[in-house]
Structure 1
Amino acid sequence: MKLRLLAVAAVVALQLSAQTDAAKPARVLLQSGVYQLTEVNLGVLSKPLPGESRQRVVRVFAFARPLTELEWANWSARGAVNHGYLPLNAYLVEIPVNATQAWSYAAQLPLRGAAPFTGAMKLSSTLATGSFPDYAWVGSEVELVVVPLATSSSAALSANLDRIGTVVATAAHGISVRINPSDLQRIAALPEVQFVQPKEAPGEPENLTGTKNHRATAIRVPFPGGRNYRGTGVVVGHGDDGDIEPHVDFKGRITANLSGPSQGDHGDHVAGTIMGAGNIDPDGEGQAPGASLVYYSYPGNLNSVDAHYTTYGVRVTASSYSNGCNAGYTSFTQQMDQDIVQNYHLMHVFSAGNNGTANCNYGAGSGWGNITGGHKQAKNVITVANVQANDAIANSSSRGPAHDGRIKPDVSALGTNVYSCVSPNAYGFKTGTSMACPGTAGVLAQLYDAYRQTHSGQDPHGGLMKAILMNTADDLGQNGPDFIYGYGRLNALRAARAIEQNHFVRDTLTQGGTDTIRISIPSGQQVLRVMLHWTDPAAT
């Protein structure tokens, strides 16, 4: 008998079967929304619309499946330019109007639908809502970043932008322009444009950015009536590089220090990211400033967890250490899986590693299958990738899959330029999945606190917390879970709401049995994400 945990969040698309999708209109998922692609008449698609170039047009094509390399080679040889993949088997393609062979070849492909690349499709999610962030305003104007198509001339686009607003800078990532907000659609309608977003947010210390990125501050607001999930009373077992120095941010919350002599300030920085109070510098506050720590020299937190789960009440562990690259399912891996099975409320959190470009003999070449450890590849634990403040993956962050092909990492968190505690009573920046792991452990401490506050002081099942964390994450990279970001970047606010609203179902099922779970969908919701999760027995 296995415990099934159904975590539900009505926020992103349910993965449907290919048979079901085939019966529906083709669609493409963009930042600005979901668009149905209904046109299949290539004669209509090849004709320029008002405002488009008379020589070349850009279209969104959706197919029944991803195109093969050979199909792309043949289409490109006939004049088609691939500007990139879009979710649900779609591509952004530029074709000369008079390239008869390119249009004819498109008819031979498994086309399900297509559409012109409209101005609305080019907007970021923020701009698509008609809002502009505070930092984008410059007087009565807003500053945008306009990304040109790869085949467009930046000089020509800059000239067109200057006719609408004022170009203030040109960089590799795009052209910065200040405009009257009412001119946004004119900018997006320019045929040379691929994407439009607000200017980048101003820089700030990255641990402050980290708590915002993970939505951790949204669930511990210092105002009456707000959520107050600070991780208070939740104990994290943190294994690192020897003794941590006294720091005012840790005062009164180191339950036990079981470490050897200090080997540096790595452990101080990681501890601060988990539970630093930000007493000297509020920007250095950790994810769960109310949590407590049992501190070890690594791997004491893992080897002692069976005993200290009871002795100290350890519920979450944090380990930012490797034990071999793509080591496979080792005995240590087996121990990690057994820990979660045997200790109902426990969850282990690991860094994915910093071998993102390495070849660790997975079989797919450099850049894949380089998770740094066997223990991190356990089925029941959480392994964390390192994203930057803009949600782009750090080049050094280790990629999956696990040795046996399973998805790893599980989630992503900020691990680049994280601002946290260093001794003595100071703060500094560090980068790596070593910093993403404690960010996740701290968020878990907050969510354990949320569960206790909303469920009569009870502790949650560790597997349930993993499921909620993954199922409420903000999907990044390819649509759905992947070997780079896992299930996406943490979203503590969405996870807390799932806990508060009991968006999960506990159930048991015997071998060969069946069961039906009914989910009530609130009116107005258009999409649903469902995860079936269970804590699996350790492998042999």
Structure 2
Amino acid sequence: MAASASQAQQISLFEEKPFEREAFALQLAEKASTDKEAARVWALANNKPMRVDDGRQVMELMAVRNGKPVYYITHNSNAAISSAANKVRTTAPYNLDGAGINVGVWDAGAVRTSHQEFDSGRAVVKDGYTTTHYHATHVAGTIGAKGVQTNAKGMAPSASIHSYYWNSDISEMTTAAATAPGQTGNKIYLSNHSYGQGVGWTQGTFYDNRDEFGQYNSEARTVDQVLYNAQYYLPFWSSGNDRTDGTSSSSPVGDGYYKGGYDIISHEAIGKNVMTVGAVNDAVSGGNRYPSAGTYTSFTSWGPADDGRIKPDIVANGYQLYSTDDDDDSDYTTLSGTSMSSPSACGSAALLVEYYKELFSGGAMRASTLKGLIIHTATDLGRAGPDYQYGWGLMNTLAAAQLLEDYASGSLNRLREDSLSSTANPSDSFVVSASGEPFRVTLCWTDPPGTAQSGDDIRTPALVNDLDLTITGPGGTRYPYTLSYASPAATATTGDNDVDNVEQIYVASPTPGIYTITINYEGSSLSGGTQRYSLFIDGVSSDSDGDQMPDYWEQQYFSSTTGAVATADSDGDGTDNLTEYIAGTLPNNPNSVFKVTSYSANHTGGTPFVVNWTTEEGRVYSVSYTYNLKYVDFAPFPDATDLPSSQNSYTDTVSHAVSPIFYRVDVKIGE
């Protein structure tokens, strides 16, 4: 299939500044090393262990902050059914298995790379740490086990696993993160982190640091900084298992009773730009996906963040997952936890990364696109709309793949990647038509790092660039979902959301008609001057009259979704309206034409000839040539057929025996 991915600003800040990236990674690595040494000194002085592993949970002392220890703690057939990953693995037209996709796994030790489920060297240790661990191996199997044992088959059974020890995780993520489409080798577009820092009750000991629950602290800010500078990289982070820590009679009370079980997610999982994953039970009945069975587990941590942001982002199966173990190359075990739900989601997401790459000739989604896609297509659980227990709902890989399939077929009304600018483009708006069926619009962006907080329940928003989504049409203006920090168990309402970098509007019973979707921002300017965003739409008509011209285009230029006649030449320039749409030109401006914008000097003396043209999102282009306009048909260049809209030039390096040579550029909608 051929289609064109959106090419607006296709590189990230780290890609533009590689030396700053290297320096930042070194800075983080040095800090991790210094913190670890200080932790060793503290542990020796206080007669505390550096690492505890009881076979159920791992604790490792990483640093000492404000005199308090900082511990990292570790937080499948039914899992694939629950996330609908099974529906895109062996089902046409998808047939996805994660082949060619690298997935990073940071964990309490190394993955057992020789396990029979990781054939042909698919699992590789990337940081030199080779001491295997059951938790890391189980997580990696949930993502990518081959399926030697059917019940242990991972979400993406042909994905490559890049194994890292968690000691210098943020520094290594900075180096490994993909920053543009088409990157291979050691680069990764997604990773899994089934661990967090010990807060409150941990393995029967109470640590007096509950103020860190929900806190946008330095760790959350740092991971947001990395992701803002590497905008094609999305890490999946487990929300934690704190709701079963401690007991109701403990003094202080257990974490699960602290604030009624709410506000017990912490550190990196509180980051705005990560994908935080909670755990539900098997969403399966009779071997089929049954979302209502996917109730939250007893242990999964609930949000919100202290500023009221929605956490977790999504949920996935995290109960009783059968996967690989590290005792030998054919060992397996069953584990439960958000440590299992996060790789369920991450492995399923690897299939979507693969599918996008297939659809768009090696392309890659921005992290905001992958995150927004999963949120937009998630199956709502619990209270209507988002909530602090299930986030946006249960991951639905099939629905996400179907949206990508629609987008690749030319339905630009399903997905848009664009940007706002403080000067050139302060707002975007476009029209859609609704038939009366429910429709949903989701906006997602990778936000700049906010100001780190250190106090208890600081309500200052971590949001920096406050984008706003509204829909105006019959019945007035609709606003996105909002949740109440003060009443965390309340059902979502709608209004001005000034804390989340994901906004969604759901219109349950729209009056048939035309609706205008608008994206703008609050404040006098945007941090960085520009903010990229990803937008998703469901339930609106793309082409209500079936004339191959989408409704939004007809409404924009003809004031009605059925106002254009495909064969008419509305501006008298010799090109009919349908051709104007395909070419990406204006049907009401005779001076707007699809044309070659420039070309090099004559193709003589072995000098290559370069031709350039204008491009439009959703189109593909082909270049052909002839040496006789009257008698010889144009012949396509084999390497210039169905070029994506990201490519607006072609260089002819062939030494032609006959001259002159005539060139032609053709355009069509991507298929």
Smaller-chain TM-score range?
0.5 to 0.7
Q: 1:418 to 1:361 in 2, by over 3 A?
A: closer
Identify the residue that residue 108 of structure 1 maps to in structure 2.
none
2:204 is equivalent to residue 335 of structure 1: no
Matching of residue 290 in structure 1 with residue 158 in structure 2: yes
Alignment of 1:112-511 (within 5 A): 207-221=76-90, 225-245=92-112, 246-251=114-119, 252-258=121-127, 260=129, 262=131, 264-279=133-148, 281-309=149-177, 312-325=186-199, 326=213, 328-357=215-244, 365-371=259-265, 373-389=266-282, 390-423=293-326, 424=328, 425-502=330-407, 503-511=414-422
Q: Deviations over 1:489-537 (max 9, x none)?
A: 000000111111122112222349332123355x6x7111111111111
- Within the candidate set 442, 445, 449, 1:534 is matched to 445
Question: Deviation per CA, 1:84-124, whole angstroms, max 9, x where unpaired?
Answer: xxxxxxxxxxxxxxxxxxxxxxxxxxxxxxxxxxxxxxxxx
Helix, strand or coil: the match of 1:518? strand
Secondary structure class of the residue paired with 1:314: coil
Q: Is the 8 A contact 1:324 1:374 kept in 2?
A: no
* Cα separation, partners in 2 of 1:313 and 1:456, compared to 1, 3 Å: same
Larger displacement relative to structure 2 (361-370 or 329-338):
361-370
CA shift, 1:344, in A, is 2.2
Supply the distance in 2 between the matched residues of 1:266 and 1:361 (Cα, whole angstroms). Answer: 23
Deviation, 1:293, is 1.2
The C-alpha deviation readout for 1:69-97, integer Å capped at 9, x for no partner, is xxxxxxxxxxxxxxxxxxxxxxxxxxxxx
Quote the Cα distance in structure 1 between the aligned partners of 2:154 and 2:422: 44
SS class of match (1:383)? strand
1:303, distance to aligned residue in structure 2 (A): 2.2
Alpha-carbon distance in structure 2 between the residues aligned to 1:396 and 1:367: 10
Tell me the secondary structure at the aligned position of residue 516 of structure 1: strand
How far is 1:385 from its partner? 0.6
Q: Deviations along 1:268-296, whole A, 9 cap, x unmatched?
A: 110000111012x1121000112111101
Task: Decide which structure has the larger Cα Rg and report it.
Answer: 2
CA contact (8 A) 1:419 1:430 kept: yes
Amino acid at match of 1:386: A
In structure 2, distance between residues paired with 1:265 and 1:216? 24
The match for 2:51 is none
Deviation sequence 1:392-417 (CA, Å, 0-9, x none)? 10011000001222110000000000
Match of 1:70 in 2: none
Q: Compared with structure 1, are the counterparts of its residues 404 and 357 closer, same or farther at alpha carbon in structure 2 (3 Å cutoff)?
A: farther
Q: CA deviation at 1:334?
A: 1.2
Secondary structure (helix, strand or coil) at the match of 1:413 reads strand
CA-CA distance at 1:465 after TM superposition: 0.4
Does the Cα contact within 8 Å between 1:474 and 1:490 map onto a contact in 2?
yes
SS of the residue 2:189 aligns to: strand
Q: Which amino acid aligns with 2:281?
A: Q
TM-score by length of 1: 0.58
Unaligned runs of 5+ in 2: 1-7, 10-75, 179-184, 200-212, 246-252, 283-292, 408-413, 452-671
The residue correspondences of 1:100-115 to structure 2 (distance < 5 A) are: none
Partner amino acid, structure 2, of 1:529: R
Is the 1:338–1:538 Cα contact (8 Å) retained in structure 2?
Answer: yes
1:72 corresponding residue in structure 2 = none
Structure 1 residues not aligned, in runs of 5+: 5-206
RMSD: 2.4
The equivalent of 1:64 in structure 2 is none
Q: In 1, are the aligned partners of 2:214 and 2:263 still within 8 Å (CA)? A: no
Matched to 1:518, the amino acid is V
2:238–2:276 contact (8 Å) kept in structure 1: yes
Counterparts of 1:361 and 1:265, CA distance in 2: 26
* C-alpha distance 209-361 of structure 1, shift in aligned 2 (>3 A): closer
SS of 2:235's equivalent?
Answer: strand
Q: Give TM-score scaled by structure 2 length.
A: 0.47
Distance verdict in 2 for CA 1:333–1:253, change over 3 Å: same
Amino acid at match of 2:294: D
Distance 2:422 2:389 in 1: 33
1:317 is displaced (CA, Å) by: 1.3
| Partner deviation per Cα, 1:208-264 (whole Å, 9 max, x = no partner) | 11101100011110x6x4412211111111011212322011122124442535363
CA shift, 1:363, in A, is 11
Aligned residues of 1:302 and 1:317 also touching (Cα < 8 A): no
2-side partners of 1:507 and 1:363: how far apart? Answer: 43
Q: Residue 231 of structure 2 contacts residue 446 of structure 2 at CA under 8 Å; is this kept in 1?
A: no
Q: CA deviation at 1:365?
A: 1.6
Counterpart CA distance in 1 for 2:132 and 2:159 is 24
- In the other structure, the counterpart of 2:504 is none
* Aligned residue pair count: 331
Whichever residue aligns with residue 438 of structure 2, its letter is: V
Q: For 2:422 and 2:255, how far apart are their aligned partners in 1?
A: 36
> Percent same amino acid at aligned positions?
32
Moved more, 304-313 or 415-424: 304-313
Q: Report if the CA contact (8 A) 2:110-2:131 is conserved.
A: yes
